[in-house]
Amino acid sequence: RPFEWFILFTIFANCVALAVYTPYPNSDSNATNAQLEQIEIIFMVIFTLECFMKIIAYGFVLHPGAYIRSVWNTLDFLIVVIGLVSGALDFLMQGEGGEAGFDVKALRAFRVLRPLRLVSGVPSLQVVLNSILKAMVPLLNIALLVMFVIIIYAIIGLELFSGALHFTCYNNETGNRMEVPHPCDNGTAGFNCSELNKDGQFWVCRDGWEGPNYGITNFDNFGLAMLTVFQCITMEGWTDMMYYIADAMGNSWQWIFFVSMIILGAFFVMNLILGVLSGEFSKEREKAQARGDFMKLRKKQQIEEDLRGYLEWITAAEDIEMEGDEKTETDDGRRLVLPGTSNRGAMSVASPTSLLLFLPLFSMRNSKAVEVDDKGDENDDAQQPSWWQRKKKGFDRFVKGTI
């Protein structure tokens, strides 16, 4: 609908304005921020009018399908209320000279929630977010499995590689460490520092290095071992870690530890998370599709019920007509008038078949065929709705048609 597209465009424009806005310390600002503050008032008015129009169309709380009963509408309502409160406080607490007497930056921070209104306006985003929320319980079970794998491999790494990553090559004369340090081995299994000997410089492997990544990536204690294993199963730098261990201890069997960890942890366990999210997304998409089909079916049934009611009304009108004066059967002075039209909108009641041709002209939601007399009985004028009632019905039809 044009109204929904207009609201989505407004939300997108508000997101752009929030991105352009540049905060300054000590309540400082610039010309761009001042203009954005003025534009912010326009956004606030539009969102407030949207909120009021939806409340008028759907009801607030008590009506079935009321505005506040929807989670997304509740989020929109809270964002609008917070914006109104922050704007009111900013206006009321203005001190003399135009300087704010009360800091409302804490409330202004809630403006970042406005992009969440896109979720309420785009059904596909609702499906994605609902999928993530529904997947929380299965993801908790998978998280326990991931933690179990991390703990097992952390214990194994702690037993096998503890303290192995602190040896590196030092210059035997100057005592300086090599430019790009990496682990070494005093034996023959790993990296031998004698390979660096040249130009009369001799290098020896000794302890004293904090380790890779400033001492964070190692197996010296259980906590750092868990962190290192988690880094490896996310496939972030796991080959570097395997080469570090190979330089420190050799490459005879150490690769088995890392390859098995990647196969079990990265290829199987971590991909279970994607599997759960994909499954929940498929379920939510099917629910959304079924909900849309149900709404179409219900609308179709409502149209059929309205048509059935019109047919019954026409049949009853013909029965009443035939029971009347037979002399005036061809022209009984009775006709159908479309609401909101004058005599030009009137048509003679000839037969059900001829009336069925004009049934699509009737609005299924708001219009209703009214039977009136040509002679214009004075009692009918007394039963006509007042000017205020006609205006109110017209406004309600406009709001419902817009929303």
* Nearest in space to 188 (alpha carbons), one of 253, 251, 257: 251
The answer to whether 179 is annotated as binding is no
* Band of pLDDT at residue 324, cut at 50, 70 and 90: low
pLDDT for the residue 8: 83
pLDDT for the residue 105: 64
pTM: 0.56
Domains defined for the chain, CATH in brackets = 2-121 (1.20.120.350), 122-166+210-323 (1.10.287.70), 329-403 (no CATH)
pLDDT for the residue 372: 40
pLDDT for the residue 224: 92
pLDDT for the residue 151: 94
pLDDT for the residue 322: 63
Q: What is the pLDDT of residues 55-105, one digit of tens each?
A: 888 888 777 778 888 777 888 888 888 888 877 777 776 654 445 445 566
Over 50: is that where the pLDDT of 181 sits?
yes
pLDDT for the residue 90: 72
Mean pLDDT of 393-399: 67
Q: What is the pLDDT of residues 4-18, one digit of tens each?
A: 788 888 888 888 888
pLDDT for the residue 86: 79
* Band of pLDDT at residue 328, cut at 50, 70 and 90: low
Over 60: is that where the pLDDT of 117 sits?
yes
Over 70: is that where the pLDDT of 174 sits?
yes
Over 50: is that where the pLDDT of 366 sits?
no
pLDDT for the residue 362: 44
* Band of pLDDT at residue 27, cut at 50, 70 and 90: low
pLDDT for the residue 384: 60
